[in-house]
Structure 1
Amino acid sequence: MQIFSALVETNSVSLVAEKLHISQPSVSIQLKNLCEQLNTELYVVNNRKVHITEAGYAVYQATLGIANTFEDLHIRLDAFNGLNAGKLRIAVVSTAQYFMPKLLSAFCRKYPNIDVQLTINNRQTVLKRYMENLDDFYVLSHWPENLEAEKIPFVDNELVVMASDTHELTRQPHISLNRLQHYPFIMREQGSGTRMSIDMFCQQHNLKLKERMTIESNGAIKLFVAEGLGLAILSRSTLDHSNVPGLTTLDVDQFPITNQWFLVRKTGRNLSLLAETFEAFAKLNVNRLLSSSQ
């Protein structure tokens, strides 16, 4: 089942062999034996490409559950001597990378022998990982209403207007929303949580921004803004932890836009002792840790 899980994740027998350090013939034999034992076609090979069947994905989900159960057993047995083992899996959207290190570093200092697998990606990829039940927790805003989940309000996320510190608007003590419409903006891509907040805000206030560029990276946007190519609306946390010089926050009417980060977990997923401990630690400490870093 470990071999089959690796096949689902790599879609390649050769990569499975490489990943698990066993020969390709052994991989093929084990996969064939699993299909025979379950009397089900779990995958098909077409033009040397592996395609997982619907039954195969069902087996994969069950395999993840079995692996989590064994890992949980190991953690709970070890917990008799303290929380000294286990892997915590968290997937976060790219903007959340600016505050998660503070929380995770504090947690790892308290439990130095645990491992953390942190995945940072765009919103669509994080939601895909949720659907595949790959992680203990997910951090993002604007959770889809049609997707059932256990959502814990986590951190306030303030979006502010950023400009180069040489921009003419930095000399204005206060800026109206209407004034923003006269300047080009560098925007996040459609589908990102930041862009969703901006689009909803603009719709509510009948605001039309001039979109000069669209970039999928907060870091790249800050570089272009610092060069004076446009304004941007980004999370305040990206500026608080920025290593890009020459940026400033503008005082604009109706800003900041405030929304909420959520710590999300799969409905029905049995949390390991480690995951339960992290959830309790995060609820208790996240605001204190983030406020102390500002």
Structure 2
Amino acid sequence: MNYTLNQLQIFLKVVQTNSITKAAEELNLTQPAVSIQIKNLQAQFDIPLIEIIGKKIYITDFGKEIAESAKSILDQVYAINYKTMAFKDQLVGRLKISIVSTGKYVLPYFLSDFLRTNPGVEISIDVTNREKVLESQLENEVDFSLVSDALDNPTFDSIDLLSNDLYLIGNSETAKMKPTFNYQDFKNELPLIFREYGSGTRKIMESYFKKQGVDGLKKIELMSNEAVKQAVIAGLGYSIMPIIGIKNEVKAGTLKIIEREGLPISTKWKLIWHKDKSLSPVSKAFLTYVGENKDQIKQKYFQ
């Protein structure tokens, strides 16, 4: 056997995401690079690790066992690294954080200085929708989660980070054509572009239009905020989106904010964790850092 730690890490990520594309994104690699490493790992075994049927990946039973072994090996490697750093009196450990998709515009700014001053800390971030983010907390799969809507759940403790304002948007041409449209028009010629079920942004949109007495909407459904944004820019319809993910396009004029009563919708970005979870030293240090520095971070990057 001649497999490498890098191959095991990449294979484990493919198993966890069930996708070469998603694994490449999370590892900041190209799809061909991931495919090559999986191919090289597979060459070490006579039994298939994965099967591709159509365009979908299926992990074989043997592949699942190898993934479990790979996780154990990598955990041992991390433990060795942590012990080495600990002997140097440095904070060491791993932080696992799940975030809603728009959270990628927020979380890095709360991590950068913390990681710079604590090089022994490693980060694992899972980007998904709200439903899966909360599920990861309830299953004790992560240390913290980042959500952006009201959270009335006694299971979680939380700390507010900053406000999250959502606006109705169209592209410059469609907004110009219908500057005074009525919400009832969404039933006919003006499609609304929604995120998938389980998304926090979708939940907010549906709640807003319900309050406006609008139902039976003409809808387009997409799986990511970036896809929604590009669809609106292309003129496929309108959507309600967090300003934090579209501010550059608004400044450039490719997207236009459409003013309506009840907008913007204001929520809060919250860092949450299970109240019964025993926080590790790294988790406690990060929570302390966020509490002490959130106002400065907000002022510096989100003013």
Question: Shorter-normalised TM-score: what interval?
Answer: 0.5 to 0.7
Q: Deviation at 1:270? A: 1.0
Letter in 1 for 2:284: E
Residues 28-84 of structure 1: CA deviation (Å, up to 9, x unaligned): xxxxxxxxxxxxxxxxxxxxxxxxxxxxxxxxxxxxxxx9xx97xx68x9288242x
Paired position in structure 2 for 1:91: 98
Long gaps (5+) in structure 1: 1-5, 28-66
**Inter-partner Cα distance in structure 1 for 2:262 and 2:132:** 31
CA deviation digits over 1:189-237, x for unaligned, max 9? 2331111112222222323473330112111111111111111101111
Q: Equivalent residue for 2:247? A: 240
Distance 1:11 1:280, change over 3 A: farther
- Provide the TM-score with structure 1 as the length reference: 0.68
Query: Does residue 1:111 correspond to 2:160, yes or no?
Result: no
| TM-aligned CA deviation for residue 100 of structure 1 | 1.1
| Structure 1 residue 288 corresponds to structure 2 residue 291 | no
State how far apart, in whole Å, the 1-side matches of 2:218 and 2:295 are.
34
* 2:64 matches 1:15: yes
Matched, 1:120 2:117: no
Name which of 271, 274, 278 aligns with 2:279: 271
* SS in structure 2 of the partner of residue 167 of structure 1: helix
Contact 1:157–1:260 (CA under 8 A) maintained in structure 2: yes
Aligned twin of 2:208: 201
Q: Secondary structure at the match of 1:181?
A: helix
Equivalent in the alignment of 2:86: 78
SS in 2 for 1:191: coil
1:97-133, Cα deviation, whole Å (9 max, x unpaired): 1111222222212222311111111122222211220
Aligned AA (1:271) = L
Of 158, 176, 179, the residue aligned with 2:182 is 179
The match for 1:259 among 247, 255, 267 is 267
| Equivalent residue, structure 2, for 1:189 | 196
Instruction: Report the counterpart of residue 167 of structure 1 in structure 2.
Output: 174
State the distance in 1 between where 2:284 and 2:255 align.
39
Q: Alpha-carbon deviation of 1:271? A: 0.7
Query: Are residues 18 and 148 of structure 1, via their aligned partners in 2, closer, same or farther at CA, if it must alter by over 3 Å?
Result: closer
Counterpart amino acid of 2:296? R
- Residues 168 and 158 (structure 1), Cα distance of their counterparts in 2 relative to 1, 3 Å cut: closer
Q: Which has the larger radius of gyration?
A: 1
Distance, in Å, in 2 between the alignment partners of 1:111 and 1:170 is 53
Q: Distance in 1 between matches of 2:249 and 2:122?
A: 27
**Is the 8 Å Cα contact of residues 184 and 209 (structure 1) preserved in structure 2?**
no
Name the CA shift for 1:166/1:79 in 2 (closer, same or farther; >3 Å). farther
* TM-score in terms of structure 2 length: 0.66
Distance of 1:228 and 1:155 partners within structure 2: 31
**Using a 3 Å threshold, how does the CA distance of structure 1 residues 106 and 162 change in structure 2: closer, same or farther?**
farther
Aligned positions, number = 236
1:249 aligns with 2:252: no
Aligned residue for 2:159?
152
**8 Å CA contact retained: 2:233, 2:255:** yes
Write the deviation string for residues 153-192 of structure 1: whole angstroms up to 9, x where unpaired: 23321111111122244895xx6xx724323211122331
For the residue of structure 2 that corresponds to 1:118, the secondary structure is strand
Change in Cα spacing, 1:151 to 1:11, as seen in structure 2 (3 Å) is farther
Overall identity of the aligned pairs, in %: 24
Is contact 1:187–1:215 with CA below 8 Å preserved after alignment?
yes
1:292 partner amino acid: K
* Partners of 1:15 and 1:86 in 2: CA distance: 26
| Counterpart selection for 1:229 from 233, 236, 239 | 236
Q: Mind listing any 5+ residue stretches in structure 2 that lack a counterpart?
A: 1-11, 17-58
Q: Distance in 2 between matches of 1:102 and 1:179?
A: 39
